[in-house]
Structure 1
Amino acid sequence: MSDDWLIDNQAYWDERAPLHTTSDFYAMARFREGATSLRPFEIAELGDVAGRRLLHLQCHFGQDTLSWARLGAQVTGLDFAPAAVEAARALATELGVSGARFVESNVYDAPAALGERFDVVYTGLGVLGWLPDIDAWARVVADLLEPGGVFYIAEFHPFMGVLDDETGTTVTRDYLPDKPTTFDEPGSYADWHLPTVHNRATVWRHTLGEIVSALCAAGLRIEFLHEHQVTYFDQFYNLVRDEDGTFHRPDGLPRLPLMFSIRATRS
C-alpha cells in the first residue's frame, strides 16, 4: 500500500481537530471549569501519575493529555495532525497548564521525534484503528518506555466492529480482516452534521489477540487485560445511556465486551 492513506488521514484529522474543540461532544465548557475528560476506570487502573513523565500517543487536541497534567503528570502529547497539535498548545496556554508539551509526529516516528523515554505511555479511545501496523506500534511503545515504565491503553473492543450498527446483535463484518477499510463520509463521530471537505480516510481492524501478542513480542509484560461491558460512545442505536454518561446494551440481550483496557510494564 502507498502512503496515500497517510495523506488522506492527516487531512481528515487536520480538518476535524479545530471543529472538535467547539463540539458539544467534548463538553469543553465543563472541561475549562476543571472537569476531567478521563474515564474513572482509567484513573483507577493507571494509578498515581503525580510527578511522572507521561507521553500520550495520538493525543488529538490534548484534552486527555491535559487531564493527566491536572493529576500531576509531566505531560507530552503527540499527534500527526498539525491542526490538532496547534489546538492542544492553545488549550494548554489558555488553561495555564505549564510544562505541557505537544509534538507533531506520526506514531511510528515518535522515538526519533521525541528523543527520550517516559515513565508512562498512555493511549486513549478510538486510536488503534488508524494504525496499519500494530506490531510496529507495540515496538514504538516499548522503545518509548523507561525500564520499569508503564504502558496503559483504554480502547473500544474490536469485537464491536463486527456487529450491525442498528442493534449490535448480528455479525455483519469480519472479525479477522484481511484488508483495511476506506470510507468517504462527511461529519465525524462528534457531530455527523459538521460541514467537512476532507472525508476520505482509511482504517484497520486489529483483533484483541493481535494487540496483546504485539505488546508481548515487543518485550512488555501484561499486568492485566480487562474487558468492560460499558462504553462511552453510542456505537449502536439501541444502547442505553446511564446517569454517569456510560452506555450499556439493553437488558435481555447477551452481555458483550464494549471496551477493553491493558496495563503492561517494560522490564
Structure 2
Amino acid sequence: MRTHTGPEDWRAANRAMWDERVPIHLASDYYDQDGFRRDRDVIRDFEAAEVGDVTGKSLLHLQCHIGQDTLSWAHRGAARVVGLDFSEPAIEAARELAAEVGIGPDRATFLTADVYDAAQAVAASAAAPPAYDVVYTGLGALCWLPDIRRWAETAASLVAPGGFLYLAEFHPLTDVLDDESASRVAYDYFSRDAWVDESPGTYTDFSAPTVHNRRVEWQHTLGDVVSALAAAGLRLEFLHEHDMTMFQRFGSLARGDDGYFRLPADRPRVPLMYSLKATRPRP
C-alpha cells in the first residue's frame, strides 16, 4: 500500500474550508434544500439499485456533510441512520434538516467526528448502534483522506456480520486526464503527493466570496481502495465502473436527459465514476 505525503495542517485547513462553505451550500440551487424538504430523496438511481432495499436496516453514512443522503436512506425505509462528519456546522444543519422533514432522533443521529475516529465516536454515543447493516460513503469523500488503509479499517470495523460497505466515488482515472477534453493523460495516476489548492468559491458557486480557501486532497488508485478493503477483512461483491458523472468535470462532457454528464457519443468511453459493495462474512 502506497504512503501518501502532505502538509501537517491538512485536517485543520480542510475543516475550516468546509465549515465556511456550509451556509453557501445550504443556500445553493445545487443542494436545493426546499426541494429536499418536499421530496426527501436525493439518492442516485444506480445507488438505489446497488444498495437494494434498506427497509428495517441500520445505516451509517461516513462524511455525510449536511445530511441529505443520510436522511434519504431514512426516507427509503432504513430503521436507523447515523451521519458522521468532521464539520460541526454541517452536522448542525443536518440535525435541523432532520427535524424539518419529521425524522426524529429515534431514527436519525448525527455525530461530529473525524472519519478516522468514527469507531470511537459511535462507541461514545448512546444513540448510535455499535455496528451497521450498511456503511455508506457517498461521492467525493475519499479524496480528503491521506491514508486509505486506515479509512478501510475504520469503515470495516463498523460493518455488522452479514452487513456491507457501499462506496460510490468519482473514478481515479478522472484525476489524470486533461481538464478540457479528457482525451489525453496529463497527470500521474500513481501520485503520492497531496494536491494543495487555494482557489476561492465552491463547487455550488465558483464565484462565492470565501476566506478559508486552502484545501488538501489526495488521489487513490482503484487498486489501493480495493486492496485496503480486502486487507480489512471485507469480501468484494462487485466493482462497477460507470461512464457518467454528476457534474461537468471536463469541458467536453454533455448533460443527458437523465441528468448525468457523459462524453460525446462519437468519443471512446472511459469510466467517470465507480461503485463497489464489500461484505463482512458471518462467523
TM-score bin (small chain):
over 0.9
Amino acid at match of 1:107: V
Partner of 2:189: 175
For residue 64 of structure 1, the aligned residue among 57, 69, 86 is 69
* Length, aligned pairs only: 267
Distance 1:178 1:136 in 2: 16
SS at match of 1:48: coil
Please report the TM-score for the alignment, with normalisation by the length of structure 2.
0.92
Matching of residue 95 in structure 1 with residue 101 in structure 2: yes
Amino acid at match of 1:41: F
Partner of 1:106: 114
Alignment of 1:198-213 (within 5 A): 198-213=212-227
Unaligned runs of 5+ in 1: none
Alpha-carbon distance, 1:3 to partner? 3.7
Distance 2:36 2:89 in 1: 20
Alignment of 1:233-252 (within 5 A): 233-252=247-266
Alignment of 1:1-267 (within 5 A): 3-73=8-78, 74-98=80-104, 99-115=107-123, 116-267=130-281
Distance 2:218 2:21 in 1: 19
Maintained 8 Å contact 2:84/2:112: yes
Amino acid at match of 1:75: V
Partner of 2:3: none
User: Percent identity, aligned pairs only?
Assistant: 54
Please report the TM-score for the alignment, with normalisation by the length of structure 1.
0.98
Deviation above 3 Å: which 4+ runs of structure 1? none
Distance 2:137 2:131 in 1: 15
Structure 1 residues 216-262: Cα deviation after superposition (integer angstroms, max 9, x where no partner): 00000000000000111110112110112111101221100010000
Distance 1:81 1:246 in 2: 28
SS at match of 2:39: coil
Alpha-carbon distance, 1:178 to partner? 2.1
Maintained 8 Å contact 2:82/2:109: yes
Structure 1 residues 156-205: Cα deviation after superposition (integer angstroms, max 9, x where no partner): 00101111111111211110002111110101111101111100010000
Structure 1 residues 39-93: Cα deviation after superposition (integer angstroms, max 9, x where no partner): 0010010001111110000000001001001011111000001111011111111
Distance 1:163 1:214 in 2: 25
Amino acid at match of 2:112: E
Alpha-carbon distance, 1:28 to partner? 2.4
Quick check: 145-154 or 54-63, which moved more? 145-154
Amino acid at match of 2:266: G
Maintained 8 Å contact 2:40/2:101: no
Amino acid at match of 2:42: S
Distance 1:57 1:178 in 2: 24
Alpha-carbon distance, 1:35 to partner? 4.8
Amino acid at match of 1:129: C
Distance 2:279 2:241 in 1: 19
Quick check: 51-60 or 166-175, which moved more? 166-175
Amino acid at match of 2:115: V
Alpha-carbon distance, 1:2 to partner? 5.7
Alpha-carbon distance, 1:27 to partner? 2.6
Distance 2:75 2:153 in 1: 29
Amino acid at match of 1:220: L
